[in-house]
Chain A
């Protein structure tokens, strides 16, 4: 019997309490998935802060394993939105995400971003399919069912498809080792691959690294070495959207912002779908209600 579970990376910065959010994401995994062992990968200081701020009992309930990795993180400033009208910059620490296959204590691992909230058991199938070695989403839609901006569908307007590192499934196999080697290589030679694949922005983005690695491993075509997760397109709440109400663990109401006319919002009720909740401040504002729904 293999030991399976979900891993979360969380390193705090001056703006976002990532470990607090990771606890929430882990509790949703516990509530909704069958393969619900969880592992937090964080620094010693952040773990100490998590225990002192939320209590050891709750932390032990959320996480079965903790991996302490006090690695030096590269500078990576990211601008976040909280509604269309508020922005803030924070140092995003993601330079060791490709080492998850070394950190993970599991035989089969689902790496989840701390803002990816599991609200059903759709992802459990990954652990049951021995032929799947690495899996990710390569399509996404927002709360209005619209596709993301073009630069988040393809690495450039005539480029290769974007794969999302928000959810990465992997097992212990040669294929997955190869995938992480390529991810590591792409990260190391980021400037070269940015030039070669013409992806935008100044920030180091793991989505681009996994997209390049997937493109190479799929034989530079739309192959299937890397499995496309079948849980629909990855639905996400944009940073400009907001949470209005948490009715239960899988029934939430949002304000969905109009990308073209940002002064307009509609209410959107989302039932049972897994969600990438990109507006982290909105999670913070609704933290108690979200925790209350799963404890």
Chain B
């Protein structure tokens, strides 16, 4: 096989592996962000955090929110809810960032796999 073609195919395989790893990291991040609170299912993403912040900026301590399964849930303690959601968000994003940085630095498949 032509050297250039072989190199291009090798690069293609490397990119495919990296893209797959990125997908796995995203699944892991989304899983870590999902949690249960007051019988509701929530995803601690930027949208939820911003909305809780908005409610609290109007001095609300409790409110009804729509959970990720479209159920209305009365949150008795917005401050506690926010604390929990931020914890989930930070934990997931820190790991996501750390693992993504490792991937970005890996220049071949062996590095990705720590071989």
Contacts and interface: CB of A to CB of B under 8 A. Distances in A.
B30 A232 contact: yes
Contacts of A224: 69, 71
B113 A232 contact: no
Nearest to B110: A267
Interface in A229-245: 230-233, 235, 245
A125 interface: yes
Size category, B interface: 20 to 34
B95 to A, nearest CB: 8
Contacts of B104: none
Interface in A186-236: 224, 228, 230-233, 235
A231 B16 CA distance: 26
Contacts of B28: 232, 271-273
Size category, A interface: 20 to 34
Contacts of B59: none
Contact of A268 (B20, B31, B36, B71): B20
A230 B27 contact: no
Contacts of B20: 143-145, 256, 266, 268
A273 B23 contact: no
A122 B17 CA distance: 26
A283 interface: no
A273 B27 contact: yes
B13 interface: yes
Contacts of B27: 141, 145, 232-233, 235, 273
Nearest to B114: A247
B17 A266 contact: yes
13 contacts: A125-B35, A125-B36, A129-B36, A129-B39, A145-B24, A145-B26, A230-B35, A253-B113, A267-B113, A269-B21, A269-B24, A271-B28, A271-B99
